[in-house]
Amino acid sequence: MFVLLSVTLCFLGYIICIKLIYNRFKRLWPSSRSNILRSSSPAKDVNFLPSRDPSDSPCRTCGNAARPFDEVRVLLVTAHPDDECMFFAPALLKLTESNAAVHLLCLSSGNYYNQGAQRKEELLGSCAVLGIPAHRVTVIDNKELQDDPKTEWSIALTASLILKHITAYSINLVLTFDKGGVSGHANHISIYKAFSHLAFVGRIPEDCQVLSLQTISILRKYLSIFELPISWLLPSAFCCIIGPNEYKKAKEAMFHHSSQLLWFRHLYILFSRYMFVNTFRVVPVEKNDVKFY
């Protein structure tokens, strides 16, 4: 009986901790979200959104003026339709709710099972729920960039398509995968390698900041909302947390991808931490004068 009571009290304490962290995030978000961009790209990870303490905001410490949030032009770069809601829904919902102009560049139609045409339509429905209008959604259908979990895409081709999109829409914030690709998918990792190449040769515009979604262990990945205290305590450059109402939107966006809703995807929607929490790191940008072909 004592053991059961102790476990119950620990569980209730953990739930209260999660609630307190979420409330803290909600209080910090309105006052600190404008600090997402600085006039120069940071060279390493720092906790600048949301800051644990507004006085610690890098925009105060570095002396650069914060940019109004409605001037933030975001580009999410994904590999397949459904990546946007499976992995990036918390960030997209917070950004679109804050009036940022969000664009999506999806580098394939997800035609692995010959469902490319259907998946394009599903993507538009998902994006509408997440607050991204159809005219800001671009799907690349290139025979060299086909959906295949074992194939890495051409870095040169991927990088050129990304850079073209950044330039065309004057993007100043990019969100994408990190070197682990969240799920280890070769196409996801190829996108990160393309950004790493662009950063290394100095082709990313100086006023454009690139953030990569952190890949976490499989244990943390499937702790659902219970993973939140871990994400909150560990360092990250950008953290987004959503509540019950926003989670319903993320789930609705997932349901638009009907062709992908196999039984295990329903479990993913329920248990994946990425449906509730996103944490990002900065992709460092070099200043090398290297020609890019």
Where do the domains of the chain lie? 70-282
**pLDDT tens, position by position, 73-126:** 999 999 999 999 999 999 999 999 999 999 999 999 999 999 999 999 999 999
Q: Is the pLDDT of residue 128 over 90?
A: yes
Candidate from 4-13, 41-50, 251-260 with smallest mean pLDDT: 41-50
Q: What percent of the chain has pLDDT over 70?
A: 84
Residue 33 banded pLDDT, cuts 50, 70, 90: low
Q: What percent of the chain has pLDDT over 90?
A: 77
| Residue 161 Cα distances to 44, 148, 207, angstroms | 26, 19, 19
Could you give phi then psi for residue 57, rounded to 5 degrees?
A: -60, 130
DSSP string, 228-267: HHHHHHS--SEEEE--HHHHHHHHHHHHT-GGG--HHHHH
Q: Is the pLDDT of residue 42 over 50?
A: no
Higher pLDDT, 33 or 92: 92
pLDDT at 64: 41
| Residue 216 Cα distances to 79, 130, 227, 274, angstroms | 19, 24, 11, 10
pTM of the predicted model as reported, rounded to 2 decimal places = 0.88
Strand ranges (E), the chain = 73-78, 101-106, 137-139, 173-177, 209-213, 238-241, 277-282
The alpha carbons of the chain give a radius of gyration, in whole angstroms, of 19
Query: What's the rounded Cα separation, in Å, for the pair 112 and 186?
Result: 13
pLDDT at 225: 96
CATH classification (class only), 70-282: alpha beta
Taking residues 235-245, what's their average pLDDT? 94
**Tokens matching residue 6:** 């102790």
**pLDDT tens, position by position, 158-217:** 999 999 999 999 999 999 999 999 999 999 999 999 999 999 999 999 899 999 999 999
Residue among 200, 219, 225 nearest 210 (CA): 200
> Residue holding tokens 């953030």?
211
Query: What's the rounded Cα separation, in Å, for the pair 142 and 116?
Result: 12
End-to-end CA, the chain: 70
Q: Is the pLDDT of residue 26 over 50?
A: yes
For residues 273 and 227, the answer to whether their CB atoms sit within 8 Å is yes
